[in-house]
A and B are shown apart, each in its own frame.
Chain A
């Protein structure tokens, strides 16, 4: 391929990539403008200086710190619990090769594909009966199970290829199934487990429908729900909208930068099996 034709392709790809990140840039630029500056120059001008009062007043108005705590608490708990549940399931299916494992696995896969709309009302109703409505615990329980469906599917495939000699050797040394799981299978599968932890965390962070239904009070809402509800009410002015968008985007970018390698590797693992 000649150099003459190389650069136009690269250029086209760069323009495409720029278009993808442009919305983030526009949001960042406008979140640091004062309302006066915004109304004078519109959304496309560069800011004169850093005006952080908009961000600060938005933060205080929606108690954003509390929303972050809720999101971290819910996503973190779900990630850990769902991984534990997935490991237990996958151990029985992938290594234990229990009878009827194909059916059990198919059951988990289908459960994973079920639209949440088909669960949302009964979950809402049952959690009210159980006194769990509008608690973070209810959301943690539901998403632990929903995420574990995917985890079971992925881990079962990975553990199905686990070298059996290692397990046999441990057995001969007198380890029981429980010890084999925690001392051998889990440490060896650490890369896959890491991928699952990151995925579950981010997926739960981004969830919308169920948290929207389950978490009605301000003190329990996640970042996604709080911002979505605010947007739905159409009460925000331009500066506030930008503050909201920037504060919503920032955690996602942080996760992305921190977890980028795990994410891209993980998607590959997930798709191949």
Chain B
């Protein structure tokens, strides 16, 4: 069966060349069928349902009642919602900006400093240490850190006491003014390995002659970092920033395990907010509205990011050819 379609395709292709699309039907389209069907069932249909529900009032049972844009209007006046998005921006700093910046410096230091002077094995071991938190389930990382940051008998407070800094002891996750920063600290720890590994891989394709030439010209480490390393791994930087920003906007598990959005909503983020609205308050319509807005923001960011990335790649290809 496949064979006949296949042959038909080839014959037509020989006759008409590349200009015309193959006629009987694209034989390869069949291979896409299971994927497309599965996607419709698991992603497209639920997503459309969710968007539809966002225009209704619904408790999860019975049938939803149409309410038009009422949920969206309510959202605009909802302080809790705005607060959760403000916290999201903090998460972007902790999960995208800071890890990318630290990752760049670490990667450069590990690659052209430790790697060159102490051997690539040393660099690989150090890289592994930084990457380790990335493979840890976020739920487990949350358990580890909420115990370390515990106010009574937590390791951090014990450590401060042992160091004679008892007055610095804090209720790290229970103090509304502090909790968000504590969560941010944990997220930096979780996230840092990803940019590091990507950047170290990216540095491998940078021409070593560039560095040698700069070194001969008397450029110090920071200047080489600034003028060679950064421009050379710009494509990787775009990708990492985009991925990490999206991950930051989606952050859920860490908040669930560390603080449950508390204390008093001080660490609430949109994904956790929509989760509680769905499953604890059972205001399904409103929960759907929150997640729809979150989706729109993420997709817009993703499109901008992809656009920037292709433009950067095109520019790069232009230079190369």
Contacts and interface: CB of A to CB of B under 8 A. Distances in A.
Interface in A1-47: 1, 6, 9-10, 13-14, 16-18, 20-21, 23-24, 26-27, 42-44
B271 interface: yes
8 contacts: A20-B133, A113-B299, A117-B252, A118-B50, A119-B50, A227-B140, A232-B256, A248-B136
Contacts of B202: 268, 271-272
A92 B32 CA distance: 6
Given A110-B299, A177-B31, A209-B271, A224 B140 contact: yes
Contacts of B147: 27, 238, 241-242, 245
B140 A88 contact: no
A264 interface: yes
B216 interface: no
Contacts of B294: 115, 117-118
Contact of B291 (A26, A117, A145, A232): A117
Q: Give the interface SS of chain B, mostly helix, strand, loop or mixed.
A: helix
Interface string B176-196: 000000000000010010100
A228 B256 contact: yes
Nearest to B41: A145
Given A115-B249, A176-B2, A177-B2, A146 B133 contact: no
Nearest to A39: B153
B298 interface: yes
Nearest to B38: A145
Report the contact-size class of chain B (Cβ under 8 Å from the partner): 35 or more
Contacts of B250: 115-117
B55 interface: no
A96 B27 contact: yes
B172 interface: no
A126 B46 contact: yes
A267 interface: yes
Contacts of A238: 147, 153
Given A110-B299, A206-B138, A119 B43 contact: yes
A33 to B, nearest CB: 12
Nearest to A264: B197
Given A228-B142, A245-B140, A268 B197 contact: yes
Given A118-B292, A255-B135, 4 more contacts: A123-B46, A202-B135, A231-B143, A252-B135
Interface of A is mostly: helix
A21 B35 contact: no
Interface string B5-40: 010001000000000010000111111101100110
Interface string B154-174: 110011001000000000000
Contacts of B219: none
Interface residues of A, number: 94
Interface string A163-205: 0000000010000111001000000000000000000001001
A89 interface: yes
A113 B118 CA distance: 40
A13 B106 contact: yes
A137 interface: no
A231 B42 contact: no
Interface stretch (B65-73, B109-117, B206-214): B109-117
B50 A232 contact: no
B143 A227 contact: yes
Contacts of A83: none
Given A43-B158, A202-B135, A228-B142, A98 B295 contact: no
B278 A146 contact: no
A141 interface: yes
Contact of B197 (A16, A206, A224, A267): A267
Contact of B31 (A96, A109, A256): A96
A146 B32 contact: no
Contact of A13 (B109, B143, B240): B109
A118 B252 contact: no
B43 A114 contact: yes
B304 interface: no
B82 interface: no
B285 to A, nearest CB: 10
A96 B239 contact: no
A249 to B, nearest CB: 6
Contacts of A125: 49, 60
B198 interface: yes
B201 interface: yes
A205 B198 contact: no
Contact of A264 (B127, B139, B279): B127
B26 A44 contact: no
B253 A228 contact: yes
Q: Residue among A14, A114, A125, A249 with the most chain B CB within 10 A?
A: A114
Nearest to A107: B39
A122 interface: yes
